[in-house]
């Protein structure tokens, strides 16, 4: 659980990054239209939530900084009985003032009027300059007299790079729920089912265990479908002797997990599947073992590409001189993506990879990232031995960088061939 003291501490850190005589604003997210007059379920903007823990829409957080002090002001949707009849109860101004450790709270209807006062005499304004939100555009127009504009989001994303103990605990909870979902699918009969039936099983586990939702659109890809990296149709039948790539992670109290496992439909790997799977797993284990402070993600990427290339040469998937193959990036045909990404409030946490000096940010204590090597061999690729065609494998875990090394937060989700075959339903 993240306390209001921690949210206030984050706001205080951000306030120190803002220049004197400035104003900064961050808006809540808006509802997104699904179809005509129906919306997708509401999810708070991650940056706004990171600074407030407030889940309601039609809200804004304003920083008003003078030479001597910084005032934080929260704007919230006013209490409206008629509106609440349709869309649910609101916290309102009075309760928000008691709950949140901000200097002032006003209703959102007063935002424009208040901003007119706040911008007077200010030299710099901070907001999300890349946003297409009409409220941001209106704010920029209203503050046009202020010539210096800076993107406040960059500061927040930099702060989000290092996770606090409370954030790590929420990520661990999301992973625990995700573990139950993956294990549930492994233990179930799969021959004769459709991909979406496994998806329903996963989503049931998420919601029944208290997860807010899935952290992203889950992938349940049987056979050759796994060779489409963002396959989300999830509507094909599962075939005996093929593999299923399942990329699914729950979101718990706004914090993500991101786990991929590749398992046999009938509970037992074929000889060819084992060889490819072992190559990917051995690569992943080697890369994870390298993780510690000061290591660069680019070094992890380079090592993964080297290991997979050497392995593919041994299996006859790639042919030729190792160094030449690497130089020509021939491995990209079968391993086209990166070794991993930051993870937190967003499954692809938008924290920076490059610092202000245009240099790569090395790993440090408190960072959370995924490690996910893979191999994808299309069924129509005649340059590859037939026994490997139509196989797509990815193995993905969530790793916390510690003081001296790492902690695999998802280590309890089975992934060795022996473990998977032992837990799987035998068809």
CATH number at residue 120: 3.40.350.10
Please compute the mean of the pLDDT values over residues 82-110 and round it to a whole number.
95
- Rounded Cα–Cα distance for residues 372 and 408 (Å): 13
User: Residue 26 belongs to what domain range?
Assistant: 4-159
Closest CA relative to residue 255, chosen from 362, 173, 341: 173
Q: In the chain, how many domains are there?
A: 2
* Domain end point (choices 108, 136, 159): 159
* Domain end point (choices 131, 159, 187): 159
- What pLDDT does residue 309 have? 98
- What pLDDT does residue 143 have? 87
Predicted TM-score (pTM) of this structure: 0.97
pLDDT band at 237 (very low <50, low <70, confident <90, very high): very high
Same domain, 126 and 233: no
pLDDT band at 157 (very low <50, low <70, confident <90, very high): very high
In the predicted structure, residue 84 carries a pLDDT above the cut 80: yes
Same domain, 104 and 226: no
Beta strand pairing call for 397-401 and 368-371: antiparallel
DSSP 8-class letter at 418: H
Q: What are 363-393's pLDDT values in tens digits?
A: 999 999 999 999 999 999 999 999 999 999 9
Same domain, 253 and 277: yes
Same domain, 44 and 64: yes
Please compute the mean of the pLDDT values over residues 157-168 and round it to a whole number.
98
DSSP 8-class letter at 44: -
Could you tell me if 10 and 50 are in contact, meaning their C-beta atoms sit under 8 angstroms apart? yes
Same domain, 209 and 321: yes
% pLDDT > 90, the chain:
93
Please compute the mean of the pLDDT values over residues 301-330 and round it to a whole number.
97
Dihedral angle at the C-alpha atoms of 369, 371, 377, 379, nearest 10 degrees? -70
Could you tell me if 159 and 185 are in contact, meaning their C-beta atoms sit under 8 angstroms apart? no
- What pLDDT does residue 142 have? 85
Taking only Cα atoms into account, the Rg of the chain, rounded to an integer number of angstroms, comes to 24
In the predicted structure, residue 427 carries a pLDDT above the cut 80: no
Q: What are 243-292's pLDDT values in tens digits?
A: 999 999 999 999 999 999 999 999 999 999 999 999 999 999 999 999 99
- What pLDDT does residue 320 have? 94
* Domain end point (choices 159, 183, 207): 159
Same domain, 266 and 234: yes
- Rounded Cα–Cα distance for residues 150 and 157 (Å): 14
Residues serving a catalytic function are 37, 230, 247, 258, 337, 341, 348, 372, 376, 394, 396
pLDDT band at 424 (very low <50, low <70, confident <90, very high): very high
* The residue to which tokens 């406040």 are assigned: 152
- Rounded Cα–Cα distance for residues 148 and 127 (Å): 11
Same domain, 277 and 384: yes
In the predicted structure, residue 201 carries a pLDDT above the cut 80: yes
Beta strand pairing call for 213-214 and 250-252: antiparallel
């Amino acid at each position: 659980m993240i306390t209001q003291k921690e949210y206030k501490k984050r706001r205080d850190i951000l306030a120190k990054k803002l220049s004197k005589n400035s104003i900064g604003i961050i808006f809540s997210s808006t509802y997104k239209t699904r179809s005509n007059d129906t919306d997708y379920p509401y999810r708070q903007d991650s940056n706004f939530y990171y600074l407030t823990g407030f889940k309601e829409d039609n809200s804004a957080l304003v920083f008003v900084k003078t030479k001597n002090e910084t005032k934080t002001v929260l704007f919230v949707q006013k209490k409206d009985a008629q509106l609440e009849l349709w869309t649910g109860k609101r916290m309102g101004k009075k309760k928000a003032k008691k709950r949140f450790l901000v200097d002032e709270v006003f209703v959102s209807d007063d935002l424009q009027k208040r901003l007119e006062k706040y911008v007077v005499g200010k030299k710099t304004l901070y907001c999300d300059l890349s946003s297409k939100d009409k409220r941001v555009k209106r704010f920029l127009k209203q503050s046009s007299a202020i010539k210096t504009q800076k993107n406040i989001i960059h500061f927040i994303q930099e702060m989000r790079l290092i996770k606090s103990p409370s954030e790590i605990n929420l990520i661990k909870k999301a992973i625990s729920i995700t573990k139950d979902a993956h294990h549930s699918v492994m233990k179930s009969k799969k021959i004769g089912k459709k991909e979406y039936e496994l998806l329903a099983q996963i989503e049931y586990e998420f919601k029944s265990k208290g997860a807010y939702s899935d952290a992203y659109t889950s992938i349940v890809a049987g056979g050759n479908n796994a060779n489409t990296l963002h396959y989300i149709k999830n509507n094909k039948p599962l075939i005996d002797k093929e593999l299923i790539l399942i990329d699914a992670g729950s979101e718990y109290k706004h914090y993500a997990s991101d786990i991929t496992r590749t398992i046999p439909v009938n509970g037992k790997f074929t000889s060819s599947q084992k060889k490819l799977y072992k190559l990917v797993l051995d690569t992943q284990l080697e890369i994870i073992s390298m993780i510690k402070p000061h290591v660069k993600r680019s070094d992890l990427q380079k090592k993964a590409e080297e290991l997979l290339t050497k392995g593919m040469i041994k299996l006859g998937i790639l042919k030729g001189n190792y160094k030449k193959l690497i130089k020509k990036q021939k491995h990209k045909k079968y391993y086209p993506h990166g070794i991993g990404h930051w993870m937190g409030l967003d499954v692809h946490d938008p924290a920076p990879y490059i610092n202000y000096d245009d240099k790569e940010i090395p790993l440090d204590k408190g960072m959370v990232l995924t490690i996910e090597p893979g191999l994808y061999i299309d069924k129509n690729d005649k340059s590859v031995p037939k026994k490997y065609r139509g196989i797509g494998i990815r193995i993905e875990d969530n790793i916390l960088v510690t003081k001296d090394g790492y902690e695999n937060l998802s280590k309890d989700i089975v992934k060795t061939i022996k473990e998977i075959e032992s837990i799987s339903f035998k068809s």
